[in-house]
Structure 1
């Protein structure tokens, strides 16, 4: 067992990624009960809903689990940009007999500006808290550590990993370019080296003094074994769990995941305003039209419009405008209950280790 697994209290070096929109307390508890580290995503909810989710996990497991929060820069609203974005989306809304909303706004509060969420985490003391899109203040990190919480941070580059180490986190999630869902870059406007999970993991293992968790395109036990061989102390899998019945992915997302488009995922900022890897669908196709050259509102203001479009499209039976997040390993997805998937991952990991 790795030092990190011992620190987190898990038997298997497998972490279920906290993908907002698909991870649920039931999925997290199932993964934890099977020996891994289950996760829930609080980035899109307020402190009250977050407390309820933590309570639900604890009702289903006595084991450790991870709570993920978003640490993006709070959005700066530009009425002219917002209006232009809605105007560019208007023809698509019209296809479904609807009009875009009159205005859009910041639908999620960043953890860096959410004292209620911090107070709730100090009170409930989840075993693990992970940061995505950046880092909170040193005061916040100190308060969480004082509450006995282990801290993880996503890094897509050496510079982000160094910042995470300097901030005092306990382990780094090395998110490769292959990963599904939102890219964890601290600054989405800065150049992105787009490092894959293998070189990023090896780089951080060699350069960083704390444990590294590999993430991006990992779907089976052989892939877990491969990143462990690179020096990672655990692997984080997200898309692998989307097809589980405990996931909250809708029927459209599940159908797309099992379809031919799974082999051609796309990195897009159209849906939410930040880069995220998604299954190709009607929304990503809008990049070829006026929307693709229209200045985007900040995240998550753009997401307000994206969610509104998804709702009107679903009402007409079209699920192609949802946030169907998935990584490059999507064609390897398996529609198994979480406990069965974890058993398969453990078996495959053991087999891969024996072959070495």
Structure 2
């Protein structure tokens, strides 16, 4: 299961690690088809990650990518969190008589997570990728010593050059079109909002690392376009949501096939970090909210609780239905079939 570099992929496609959507079954299918499958473990602990790694390895002997969140610890502000819950209270009460009275920080960052690092050193996933920031020097050295190929997401050249200094082997150029969470190292800093093609070219010329382009890519023509700009591979996430191996629920799949796919929204209301989502009741509420949002992932605790309460009453418009601007081009088919179709389209282009 060794992974020398991205040139070893027979098909230059990476399936994006999407927490809540990616599954070991999908990752294995994508890798077996000749691309690079991914699992996302940022929303689980070391025990959960171990189970997912074992599941992938039971399904394939090919290389796969394991993705982690490296976000800063949230700044806890009791007044701000109480104000956020108060703002959401009228919406909560449409679906539940007992809205939450306090919030918690749902997900641990990989930064300082010794249990997760020990697991990765023991299991040595072929590829390990990072979102929201970079691991520390000790973590990088430990992972490198096991032979892991390391990738970080960057939304600008400064982040990409920091990734190189930190010892990354490649970088994902995440364009503003991309679905899900922006990989900004500092969500409070100005976001240049660079599109995929412009960002890819900047990083190819300026960061000194192999570049994987991500954002709005849904077909082989899109893959060809970023390869022509110097990327070594294309990363696709939204394109895989409709696959049967995806963990997306029925409502998410229906929304992807609705008018909402043509109106994605960048919002902080759901999780506390900017993320691109299909337009739904939560994003519409978020566009009118004036109360400051608590830090990620504290705000996500409220978002998940609201979604659970609404779903219990048959309302599915409060989910984190992440999707990129290419969502209307989604095609439902098995993941391996999609990989092979992407390659045929790329070659034809």
Range class of TM-score, shorter chain: over 0.9
Partner Cα distance (1:208, 1:309) in 2 = 41
Question: Could you tell me which of 292, 305, 316 is aligned with 1:308?
Answer: 305
Pairwise CA distance, 1:152: 0.2
Partner Cα distance (2:220, 2:138) in 1 = 38
Partner Cα distance (2:147, 2:338) in 1 = 31
Match of 2:267 in 1: 268
TM-score calculated relative to the size of structure 2: 0.98
**Are 2:179 and 2:323, in contact at CA under 8 Å, matched by a contact in 1?**
yes
Match of 1:110 in 2: 109
Structure 2 SS opposite 1:111: coil
Match of 1:317 in 2: 314
**Are 1:273 and 1:298, in contact at CA under 8 Å, matched by a contact in 2?**
yes
2:231 is the alignment partner of 1:219: no
Q: 1:288 to 1:206 in 2, by over 3 A?
A: closer
Partner Cα distance (1:170, 1:288) in 2 = 38
Partner Cα distance (1:160, 1:91) in 2 = 40
Alignment gaps of 5+ in structure 2: none
Match of 1:259 in 2: 258
Structure 1 SS opposite 2:98: coil
Partner Cα distance (1:263, 1:206) in 2 = 32
2:323 is the alignment partner of 1:326: yes
**Are 2:5 and 2:149, in contact at CA under 8 Å, matched by a contact in 1?**
no
TM-score calculated relative to the size of structure 1: 0.96
Instruction: Provide, for residues 241-262 of structure 1, a one-character-per-residue CA deviation record: whole Å limited to 9, x for no partner.
Output: 0000100001111000010110
**Are 1:179 and 1:328, in contact at CA under 8 Å, matched by a contact in 2?**
yes
Instruction: Provide, for residues 83-118 of structure 1, a one-character-per-residue CA deviation record: whole Å limited to 9, x for no partner.
Output: 111111110011113332121110100000311001
Partner Cα distance (1:316, 1:297) in 2 = 26
Alignment gaps of 5+ in structure 1: none
2:70 is the alignment partner of 1:71: yes
Match of 1:242 in 2: 241
Pairwise CA distance, 1:5: 2.6
Pairwise CA distance, 1:263: 0.8
2:217 is the alignment partner of 1:204: no
Partner Cα distance (1:38, 1:98) in 2 = 42
Question: What are the within-5 Å matches in structure 2 for residues 152-167 of structure 1?
Answer: 152-167=151-166
Task: Write out the 4+ residue segments of structure 1 that deviate beyond 6 Å after TM superposition.
Answer: none
